[in-house]
Amino acid sequence: MRALGRFLLVIPRALDADLMREQRMSASEYSVLRHLSEAPDHRMRMSELAAACDMSLSGMTRLAAKLESLGHLERIRCEEDARGANAVLTDRGLERLREAWPTHLASVRRHIFDHLGELDLDRLAAAFSAMATDV
């Protein structure tokens, strides 16, 4: 448990530091762009995006405003519910994600996968998924 606890504290910081140093992008910014890139029509409701990124709605609103000012996403009213808003990834945001992706991938490899050796990664991923859904 101590090793897992340390891992859960150190690894996100290391991944964030690598993105900040090499891309001038936080891990939270990367996460928003990645989630939007994987969503249908590159669009997500702000509340769903906040949950996917494990952020509060107010935190997501602030981060979306920053990403919008950079031209990486647009916020538009929900057609189904005028009270809500959708975040939509722009072409510029997708290009920015593509620029940052190699840095993030190298960081994940260096900090995580290079240490896993011969572990069965499919079983490890299944175990992590089971743990995440059991909460």
Residues making up the chain, counted from first to last: 135
pLDDT digits (tens, 9 = 90+) for 45-99: 999 999 999 999 999 999 999 999 999 999 999 887 777 899 999 999 999 999 9
Q: Which residues contact 87 (CB under 8 A, 6 or more apart)?
A: 32, 36, 43, 44, 45, 46, 49, 64, 73, 74, 75
Average pLDDT of the residues in 120-125: 94
User: pLDDT exceeding 70 applies to what percent of the chain?
Assistant: 100
What pLDDT score was predicted for residue 44? 97
Q: Which domains does the chain have, with CATH numbers?
A: 16-91 (1.10.10.10)
Report the b/e string of 106-134 with b at 16+ CB within 10 A.
ebeeebeeeeeeeeeeeeeeeeeeeeeee
Q: Please state the pTM of the whole predicted model.
A: 0.90
Q: According to the model, what pLDDT value does residue 55 have?
A: 96
Q: Which DSSP string do the residues of 48-117 spell out, in sequence order?
A: HHHHHTT--HHHHHHHHHHHHHTTSEEEEE-SS-TT-EEEEE-HHHHHHHHHHHHHHHHHHHHHTGGGTT
Mention every residue, 6+ apart, whose C-beta is less than 8 A from residue 104: 15, 18, 19, 30
Q: Would you say residue 123 has pLDDT above 80?
A: yes
Q: Which of 39-43, 79-83, 128-132 has the lowest mean pLDDT?
A: 79-83
Say if residues 64 and 31 touch (Cβ distance below 8 Å): no
Average pLDDT over residues 89-118: 97
Phi, psi values for residue 90, rounded to 5°: -90, 170
